[in-house]
C-alpha cells in the first residue's frame, strides 16, 4: 500500500479527496506514512480478533475505534465499505439497515430538517428515525440508515448554500 501511494504521489496523481479530512493528528509525519501505519494497526487488530468474530456493524465500528485516529464517524465509513463488499462477513449483518453513526454534517442536516438550532449525538437515533418515518419505506424495504445519514450531510450542504449560511466547496456555474 505504501509503495502504491508513494508512486501516485511521485507521479503527482490525486491521493486525497475532499470527502474526509485526513490528518496525522498532530504527529510529525507524512499523511502516507500515517495512513500506512493506521492500516497496519487495523490489520493487527483484526489478526488477533478476526472481523468474522463480530456479527454487527456496530461491533466492528466499536472495535475499529480502539485504534487511535479512528473516531466514530471514520470507523463507521470503514464499516460502510465493508458491509457493501460482496462476500464480506458484514454483508449479512443483522444491523445492516439500522446502523449509522452521525458526523457533523448529518447532525446539521437533521437540525435543518427538524427546524431546530442543533441536534446532538444523543438526539441522533430518534431524529434520524423521524426522517425515515417521514419518508416512508423504500419500495417495501426499510431505509438504510447509513445512506440516509450521508443524504442528511448533503442536505446540510444544500441548505447552507441556499440560505447563505455557507458556500459550496465545488464550483458549478449552473445552466
Q: Give backbone dihedrals phi and psi of 6, rounded to 5 degrees, phi first.
A: -65, -35
Instruction: Please write the tens of the pLDDT for every residue from 112-159.
Output: 999 999 999 999 999 999 999 999 876 887 889 999 999 999 999 999
Question: What does R_g of the chain's alpha carbons equal in angstroms?
Answer: 18
pLDDT score of 169: 76
Pinpoint the alpha helices (H) of 11-144: 31-48, 57-64, 72-83, 104-114, 124-135
Instruction: Please write the tens of the pLDDT for every residue from 1-25.
Output: 899 999 999 999 988 877 767 788 8
pLDDT score of 4: 93
The C-alpha atoms of residue 128 and residue 148 are separated, in whole angstroms, by 8
Average pLDDT for 41-61: 83
Instruction: Quote the percentage of the chain above a pLDDT of 90.
Output: 58
Q: Domain spans of the chain?
A: 30-94, 104-163
Query: What angle is formed at CA 6 by the lines to CA 77 and CA 31, rounded to 5 degrees?
Result: 50
Amino acid at each position: 500500500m505504501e509503495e502504491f501511494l508513494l508512486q501516485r504521489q511521485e507521479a503527482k496523481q490525486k491521493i486525497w479527496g475532499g470527502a474526509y479530512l485526513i490528518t496525522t493528528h498532530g504527529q510529525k509525519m507524512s499523511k502516507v506514512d500515517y495512513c500506512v501505519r493506521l492500516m497496519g494497526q487495523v490489520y493487527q487488530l483484526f489478526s488477533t480478533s478476526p472481523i468474522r468474530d463480530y456479527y454487527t456493524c456496530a461491533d466492528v465500528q466499536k472495535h475499529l475505534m480502539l485504534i487511535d485516529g479512528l473516531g466514530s464517524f471514520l470507523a463507521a465509513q470503514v464499516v460502510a465499505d465493508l458491509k457493501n463488499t460482496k462476500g464480506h462477513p458484514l454483508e449479512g449483518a443483522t444491523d445492516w439497515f439500522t446502523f449509522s453513526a452521525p458526523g457533523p454534517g448529518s447532525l446539521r442536516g437533521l437540525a435543518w430538517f427538524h427546524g431546530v438550532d442543533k441536534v446532538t449525538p444523543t438526539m441522533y437515533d430518534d431524529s434520524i428515525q423521524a426522517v425515515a418515518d417521514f419518508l416512508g419505506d423504500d419500495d417495501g424495504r426499510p431505509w438504510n440508515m447509513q445512506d440516509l445519514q450521508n443524504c442528511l450531510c448533503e442536505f446540510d450542504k444544500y441548505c447552507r448554500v441556499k440560505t447563505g449560511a455557507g458556500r459550496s466547496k465545488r464550483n458549478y456555474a449552473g445552466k
